[in-house]
Structure 1
């Protein structure tokens, strides 16, 4: 299976609803690497890489997020694999 990388933005009610921590939990469960952070404009930025099926599964999860989130938009683009190890919440 090929290793891929996606980078993008999630908009809607995605801050203050444990979106970053829940994303990290999902990424850890799927054995993915990368990071997630809040942006000052209210969106969440994410970079994720790993086995293609697992990355696509996380991408699908991001469309809804955790229970209290209300995702209104998601933009993800393919990026070159960066060789990141581990998944962190950036502050």
Structure 2
């Protein structure tokens, strides 16, 4: 069985007003098995919380760090933890 995890990432750069949250949600749904959200923060970053199989969380993190994202990502910081199981799907907040 796949180990499940919770990945929280903060993405900085030009990531607001460019469809970043929408594309993050689409990629999470395409990867599959992920629940959580993408949220614009007041300081210009986007916060992403993804829970599901650890491998799928890593795939989303790799996409966040790739050149395929909208806007211009300058950096991604993440922390890992145990899933809380409180999300119904993957939301844009």
Q: Which residue of 2 aligns with 1:34?
A: 36
Change over 3 Å in CA distance of 1:38–1:65 after alignment to 2:
farther
Gaps of 5+ in 2: none
Alignment of 1:8-47 (within 5 A): 8-31=9-32, 32-47=34-49
- Between the two proteins, the alignment pairs up a number of residues equal to 90
Contact 2:20–2:69 under 8 Å retained in 1: no
Q: If the length of structure 1 is used for normalisation, what is the TM-score?
A: 0.91
Partner of 2:56: 54
2:5 paired residue number:
4
- Structure 1's unaligned 5+ residue stretches are none
Provide TM-score, normalisation by structure 2. Answer: 0.89
Q: Deviations over 1:18-66 (max 9, x none)?
A: 1000000011112210001101111001100111111100000011365
Runs of 4+ in 1 over 4 A off after TM superposition: none
